[in-house]
Amino acid sequence: MIDKEILATIDVDEAVPGKTRDALRAAHLYYMQDLTMDAIAHELHTSRSSVSRLLSHARASGLVEISIHSPLDLPSRIEHEILERFEVQAHVIPVPDHASDVDRLDRVALSAARILGRFIDSNLTVGLAWGSTMGAMSRHLVPKATHNSEIVQLNGAGNLRTTGIVYASELLRRFGDAFGARVQQFPVPAFFDDPATKQAFWRERSTQRLLDLQGRLDLALFGIGSPFAEVPSHVYQGGYLERADYEGLSRDGAVGDVATVFYRADGSTDGIALNERATGPDFATLRRAPRRICVVSGRAKLAGLRGALAAGLITDLIVDEGTARALVESPAD
């Protein structure tokens, strides 16, 4: 029995490289030598269909990397302006203005997932927020082999699974798989009902360990929550917050949240009652991460984005074109 299992394991370990080798060779022939798939099929003694599939595999598994370089003398005006005004490196994703919010999110997430590979590397501790944006990204990650990296969940989440929102554990797993990283779950709700419970929980040693990791991030990755957006298709729908909570947020002047921590337009968080029950790291902690990537899509999140910029939470911004334009067209900082 044990032998069988070992054999099976070996079998897989041997079989995969075989496929990978073929995929690699097919990729060379296709992308470097411009052969047609038909010709490659002939060289590999297989069918054209299989070559098509091999190439898909090669792309999906990161064997083939496609990158786009703007000529340095033509660096998108918008990205440049964002850098000037906010000291943030922007990646603007072209999306037509008439696209629906869902399309927009998907397209930004797809591009973001592909850009992400540039930031992830070995020996990194990566903090990951939980939300619809991260969920969408998780579906499109391009694998990249790293060693000794770790993905740390930044904020809690329930187990609901509404449209487009993925279990936190599933989300973590996808990121972990894609980068060969260990995964640190944070099994708490998004918001505690009672601040005292949170306090108590925070004193647990297992929680301490996680908080400690959160304090030593190399990279943080998060979206922006906008509680008052027209289409609040996120955490706020899941029944996490009640009418009274919204009213409280409104009264406190909150314009958005990062990993369940809310802030005002000027980036301040003090005195926002709900934060006492939130599970994400406070901003001082978050800002310790040297690189902090924010993915935003949709004008509805503009106010939230402005606040996060004011709070100095962001070092790299991935954003759709319309929102970027709106950001830059505002009167002043």
CA torsion sign, 236 to 242 to 248 to 250?
positive
Q: Which of 225, 108, 116 is nearest to 174 (CA)?
A: 116
The nearest distance, CB 250 to a second copy, in angstroms, is 36
Residues 31-50 contacting a second copy, CB under 8 A: 31-34, 43
Beta-sheet strand order (sheet of 182-184)? 89-93, 316-320, 291-296, 219-222, 125-128, 150-153, 182-184
Binding at 52: pick from DNA, a second copy, none (beta carbon under 5-8 Å per type): DNA
Neighbours of 49 (CB within 10 A): 10
Can you state the angle between helices 302-310 and 321-329, rounded to 10 degrees?
60
**Of 4, 69, 203, 205, the one binding a second copy by CB under 8 A:** 69
Taking CB under 8 A as the rule, does residue 75 contact a second copy? Answer: no
Q: Which of 94, 232, 92 is nearest to 164 (CA)?
A: 232
Taking CB under 8 A as the rule, does residue 68 contact a second copy? Answer: yes
Taking CB under 8 A as the rule, does residue 332 contact a second copy? Answer: no
- End-to-end distance of the chain based on CA atoms, in angstroms? 67
Given a contact cutoff of 8 angstroms between Cβ atoms, the answer to whether 288 and 259 are in contact is no
Q: Which is nearer to DNA, 38 or 84 (CB)?
A: 38
Query: Of 91-99, 159-167, 206-214, 254-262, which segment contacts a second copy by CB under 8 A?
Result: 91-99
The nearest distance, CB 286 to a second copy, in angstroms, is 28
**Of 20, 46, 169, 268, the one binding DNA by CB under 7 A:** 46
Given a contact cutoff of 8 angstroms between Cβ atoms, the answer to whether 125 and 150 are in contact is yes
**Of 25, 42, 53, 140, the one binding DNA by CB under 7 A:** 53
CA torsion sign, 86 to 88 to 94 to 100?
negative
Query: Of 2-10, 66-74, 264-272, 280-288, which segment contacts a second copy by CB under 8 A?
Result: 66-74
Binding at 203: pick from DNA, a second copy, none (beta carbon under 5-8 Å per type): none
Neighbours of 306 (CB within 10 A): 21
Interacting residues with DNA (CB under 7 A) = 4, 7-8, 11, 15, 19, 30, 36-38, 46-50, 52-53, 55-56
Interacting residues with a second copy (CB under 8 A) = 17, 20-21, 24-25, 27-29, 31-34, 43, 58, 62-74, 93-94, 96, 107, 110-111, 114-115, 145
